[in-house]
Copies of this chain bind each other. A is one copy, B any other.
Amino acid sequence: MIGATLDRRIDGGGIAVSEFLDDYFARQLERAASHGDDYVRLWVAARDGAAGGKRIRPELVLAAHAAFAGGSSAESVRLASAFELLHTAFLMHDDVIDHDLVRRGAPNVAGRFALDGVGRGLPVDRANDYGEASAILAGDLLIAGALRVVAELEAPRQVRASLLEIVDECVFLAAAGEHADVRHAGAAPGERDILAMIENKTASYSFSAPLQAGAVLGGASAASVARLGEIGRHLGVAFQLRDDVLGVFGSATVTGKSSLSDLREGKETLLVAYARVHPDWDRAAAGFGSPELDDAGATGLRRAIETSGARDRVERLIDARCAAAVDAIAAADLPHGLQESLTMTARTCTERAR
């Protein structure tokens, strides 16, 4: 796991990110207090939305920064935290787009306010509207908040401009990926579309951008920053493909997520794109994307994904992207410790259990 391999280097920084975020939300809650209980609850929901994740992005920021700067700083912690705020905002808006009311096993922002609306006697559709509106606004607040944190970093003008450029680019790509994702839903996208979507939606803002931003703040050369972009793309694609495999074949007790849900919602992963062209898929496909999919139906879909060779193809692709990452890491002129931890990250990606 990425967290585990990087933790040794940046444990202090990771705690500092939590402290920064705690303090950030405490200040917002204080401000919200004069605007009524509901607004306070919106900020509580936003705060809780930012808690409990794997903190992959801040860890990458801190690791890349520390490798070049020799250690964490108040500014690297702020930059790392900005990425977590941005990520939290994207998750919130992603959930609205997917009409999901649950995240990490608990009601998300939309879920909380929908429940609140139902509790106040609203009809279900109005309560859901209230929930989704709340999540849209919470996400907006965190996007603006993340940008402000980056804008206020104490850094030379050129460094701050580069950081704003990196953040801008990853927002631009994440939106492109998400937009393509929505368009493809139910439209049986092919390999090329899915990989482009993954590069944009996950690899850029979750891997490349945090690594590059940390490196820029740490004073890395332009060549190293460019290399980290490439490494991040490979790692991000491998990570997402592994996530897709675990979403279908993983154990719920380990992943914290039912291995039925991706199949029930008809998530257009590469596994499905590969399986779909094989006759084995046709026999099992009826339950794909059906809310009524049961264990037997899911077993049939999983079997089709295996017997069609789709799972093996995806596993080979994960291996190839991890190998490409390892090669790019070896070829890059990076500080030794970062080289080592990124290589371990690539290796664990191939065998990640959750």
Binding site for B on A (CB under 8 A): 28, 31-32, 35-36, 38-39, 42, 89, 93, 96-97, 99, 122, 126, 129-130, 132-134, 136-137, 139-141, 143-145, 147-148, 150-152, 160-161, 164, 167-168, 171-173, 175-176, 178-180, 182-183, 185-186, 196, 200
Q: B141 to A175, Cβ gap below 8 A?
A: yes
User: Sorted from nearest, which 9 A-B pairs have the closest CB atoms?
Assistant: A151-B151, A147-B147, A133-B182, A97-B133, A35-B176, A137-B175, A144-B171, A39-B176, A143-B143
**Distance in angstroms between the alpha carbons of A39 and B93 in the assembled complex:** 18
- Bound-state CA distance A130–B97 (Å) is 8
- Contact between A148 and B126 (Cβ–Cβ < 8 Å)? no
Contacting residues, chain B, for A89 (C-beta < 8 A): 140
By the criterion CB–CB under 8 Å, are A148 and B175 in contact?
no
Interface contact B141-A140, CB-CB below 8 Å: no
CA–CA, A117 and B328, complex, Å: 41
Looking at chain A's contact residues, the main secondary structure is: helix
**Contact: A183 with B144, CB < 8 Å?**
no
Nearest Cβ on chain B to A68's Cβ, whole angstroms: 23
B134 touches A179 (CB 8 A): yes
**Cβ 8 A contact of A150, one of B132, B137, B139, B151:** B151
Interchain nearest-CB distance for A206 vs B (Å): 16
Docked complex Cα distance between A180 and B147 (Å): 25
Contacts of A171 in B (CB 8 A): 140-141, 144
Q: A35-B176, A122-B186, A143-B147 are in contact. List 13 more A-B contacts (CB 8 A).
A: A35-B173, A39-B179, A129-B182, A130-B182, A140-B143, A144-B147, A144-B167, A145-B168, A147-B147, A148-B151, A150-B151, A151-B164, A152-B161
Tell me if B186 and A126 are in contact (CB < 8 A): yes
Q: How far is the CA of A141 from the CA of B152 in the complex (A)?
A: 20
From A132, which residue of chain B is reached at the shortest CB distance? B97
Residues in B neighbouring A122, C-beta threshold 8 A: 186
Q: What distance in Å separates the Cβ of A279 from its nearest Cβ neighbour in chain B?
A: 26
Q: Whole-angstrom distance between the alpha carbons of A39 and B181 in the complex?
A: 11
B contact residues around A161 at 8 Å (CB): 152
Contacts of A140 in B (CB 8 A): 89, 93, 139-140, 143, 171, 175
Determine the chain B residues whose CB is within 8 A of the CB of A141 once the complex forms.
Answer: 171-172, 175
In the bound complex, CA of A248 to CA of B2 (Å): 58
Whether B179 lies near A137 (C-beta < 8 A) is yes
CB-CB under 8 A from A148, the residues of chain B are 147, 151, 164, 167-168
Complex Cα distance, B91 from A140, in Å, reads: 12
| Contacting residues, chain B, for A130 (C-beta < 8 A) | 182-183
- Which B residues touch A28, using CB under 8 A? 172
Q: Are B93 and A136 in contact (CB under 8 A)?
A: yes
**Among A28, A42, A160, A171, residue most surrounded by chain B Cβ atoms (within 10 Å):** A171
**In chain B, what residue has the closest Cβ to A176?**
B35
Q: Which residues of B contact A129 (CB under 8 A)?
A: 97, 99, 182
Query: Is there contact, CB below 8 Å, between B175 and A97?
Result: no
What are 12 A-B residue pairs whose CB atoms fall within 8 Å in the complex? A36-B180, A38-B183, A39-B176, A97-B136, A122-B186, A134-B179, A134-B182, A137-B179, A140-B143, A144-B171, A148-B164, A150-B151
